[in-house]
Amino acid sequence: MKINRKSIKFRFIGNLILVFVLLTLSISILQVILINNLVIKASNERIKLNIKSGWYYFEEKKRKLEIFIDYLQHYFLLREDKIKEVLTDTKDLLSKYEENHDIDYLWIIPMDTIKSKLFLQEVKSFMKDNTNNTSGFIKKDFRNLNAKFPFAFQSRREILEGEIISVYVCRKMMYINPHNNQNTELIFIAGCWLDGANHFVDEIQNLVFEDRFYKGKRVGTVTLFNGSKRIATTVLLPDGQRAIGTQVSESVKEQTLVKGIPWIGRAKVLDNWYLTCYEPIRDIHGNIIGMLYMGELEAVTKDTRTFVLLITVTIILLMMTIALIVRLKQTTRLLKRIYKLRKTANEFAVGNYSIRAETDLIGDEISELVKVFNSMLETIEKDREQLIKQQELIEETNGNYLDMLGFVTHELRNSLGSALFNIASLKEGAFGEISEEAREGIDIVEDSLKYLKEITNNYLQLSRLEQGDLYFEKREINLLNDVIEPVLNEVSKLLEAKKIRVETNVPQELTFPADVNLMRVVYENLLGNAIKYGKDGGNIKITAKRTNEGKIQLTVWNDGPPIEPQLISSLFHRFKRYDTKSKEGKKGAGLGLFIVRRIIELHGGEINIQLNSETGTSFIITLPS
């Protein structure tokens, strides 16, 4: 079925669907952008919160160490006289702390026992600016210091080769040495090694991510770095081993280890992408010695985002589809009512004047339109009935008028013919010799009778045209021989009287189908007007040709005063006469050009006037060949 793209249904429903589609796409795109931004923002905020949770874990470790050191300090103060027993009890307590991974080493150092300046410098390196209390991170190879302290405890846990990162707490106190009764400065140093401290990262991961897996992969990972090397991690290699000893990427190393700026973003950890955060670990002097890393599996966020987007877009599509269907149904009902109205109008247009549009009880603008439309149809039907009655009366009156016109003109024409015949006989002396003065009077009467005969002929032709009784026989005619020359012979005396020259430019061989008698009437009227309105001693040109389009173009031109342009449109109306200041311009019934136009139209052609103030007036006829 061919679709009418100009129909109101196509445009209305098409535009409605287009608006809904564009609206759905716009809302969906906005939702995608909004959800993406929200998910990315939420992910970044969650990563920052996760890393804060990791640092909180280290703060808890430091607080436990501080509590332990504070306990030892008070214990020493209470039992200064039994220092050996205190040290023995401390070892028992340390074994319990070691089991919970709360402490990896403890050194109690009387400062007066240190003889080596180098060793003293090593001890003071744990004390930032030699304050009584300090805590934080430090990077040192503790294995070189174990045997140098009078009391040293060190966990049996294996640590990696090289420098070691440790979280530690250092306290300083004064006590009275029972051997010499002198005040002695006592240093307490306790801490936990981070190298190889997988239990640290496991506890942080359990705290933050609950060690969850997604599609066989850890949801979150935690890693401690000594420099750029992993020293403790929950990241697993393909063989299930921890990725200890592997290096961080150069971009993270440059930003976090060199510049000290936290790195947040997507990072590929082994073969998986994670949303990660790297933050620097600084020692007590502010130097960057390592990094704390926490990452969340990107697939979880992406799948969650995809699921949310899918649900959101599905809901939007569902709601917009429902809204579109509802709207289309409403539109279809509205268009059906319009189509019923159109059908009623078409039925009325083809002649079913009693038909009326179906009314409804909806009460909207269409209902009001239907009421007004039906009222209009009733008015038109009533007016039509009145017009039919008036037309019948007019046709009856016009018929009587035409019958009377035909009868009168026919009888008058016969009487005028008889009168003209008798005047011609009188002038030829059939009734005796007449004087010159009488001849002049007879000429005047003859001219008047000829003019009256011309008018009578026009009225007779008008009567035949109006009644459709005009005889029309179309056959191939020779324009010059059959029409123009006979008409010129008829008007030759008029041409001589006004001394008008006629130039004929018509091909001898030009022929076309037409009614010869009616074409003579056309040229009689056109040449009669050219003589009547032309100037004395003027010129008339008669031309004819076959155009490139294959049509016949006939022209009658005279050099008389041009017709006023505003009068041209009315010249071809019946009883419309072109009046001039000359006495000839007042003569005529105003039927000649009307009859000419009707004859040309009967032949399927048209007639036009072309004016030129310098070259006169041309009547141009175009006929099919």
Question: Of 156-160, 350-354, 412-416, where does the model show the most confidence?
Answer: 350-354
Spatial CB neighbours of 228, under 8 Å, sequence gap ≥ 6: 247, 248, 253, 257, 291
What are the backbone angles phi and psi of residue 437, rounded to the nearest 5°? -65, -40
Taking the CA atoms of residue 197, residue 200, residue 202 and residue 205 in that order, the dihedral angle to the nearest 10 degrees is -140
Q: What's the confidence (pLDDT) of residue 524?
A: 85
Q: What's the confidence (pLDDT) of residue 1?
A: 46
Residue 278: is its pLDDT beyond 90? yes
pLDDT tens-digit map of 84-125: 666 666 776 777 777 677 788 888 887 776 766 777 777 777
The token duo for 174 is: 């004064």
Residue 257: is its pLDDT beyond 90? yes
H or E segment to which residue 173 belongs:
strand 164-177
Residue 406: is its pLDDT beyond 60? no
Residue 614: is its pLDDT beyond 70? no
| CA atoms within 13 A of residue 105's CA, in its CB half-sphere | 27
Tell me which residue of 200, 177, 194, 222 sits closest to 105, measured CA to CA.
194
Tell me which residue of 140, 160, 297, 289 sits closest to 234, measured CA to CA.
297
Average pLDDT of the chain is 78
**Which string of b and e fits 398-413 if b means at least 16 CB within 10 Å?**
eeeebeebbeebeebb
Judge if pTM exceeds 0.75. no
**Residue 480 one-letter amino acid:** L
CB atoms within 10 A of CB 224: 25
Contact (CB, 8 A) for 188 and 69: yes
Cross-strand bridge partners of residue 296: 220, 275
Tell me which residue of 375, 337, 338 sits closest to 356, measured CA to CA.
375
Residue 442 — very low, low, confident or very high, per pLDDT cuts 50/70/90? confident
Residue 220: is its pLDDT beyond 70? yes
Domain with CATH 3.30.450.20 in the chain: 1-351
Q: Higher confidence at residue 1 or residue 163? A: 163
Residue 270: is its pLDDT beyond 80? no
Q: What's the confidence (pLDDT) of residue 478?
A: 92
The share of the chain scoring above pLDDT 90, in percent, equals 11
Residue 439: is its pLDDT beyond 80? no
Q: Higher confidence at residue 540 or residue 573? A: 540
Q: Which CATH topology does 472-623 take? A: Heat Shock Protein 90 (3.30.565)
pLDDT tens-digit map of 169-204: 888 887 666 555 667 788 888 888 898 888 889 888
Taking the CA atoms of residue 118, residue 123, residue 129 and residue 133 in that order, the dihedral angle to the nearest 10 degrees is -170
pLDDT tens-digit map of 500-531: 999 999 999 999 998 887 888 889 888 888 88
DSSP3 helix / strand / coil % (the chain, rounded to 5): 55, 20, 25
Domain with CATH 3.30.565.10 in the chain: 472-623
Residue 585 — very low, low, confident or very high, per pLDDT cuts 50/70/90? very low
For 1-351, CATH number out of 3.30.420.40, 3.30.450.20, 2.40.50.100, 3.40.50.2300 equals 3.30.450.20
Q: What's the confidence (pLDDT) of residue 305?
A: 75
Contact (CB, 8 A) for 51 and 294: yes
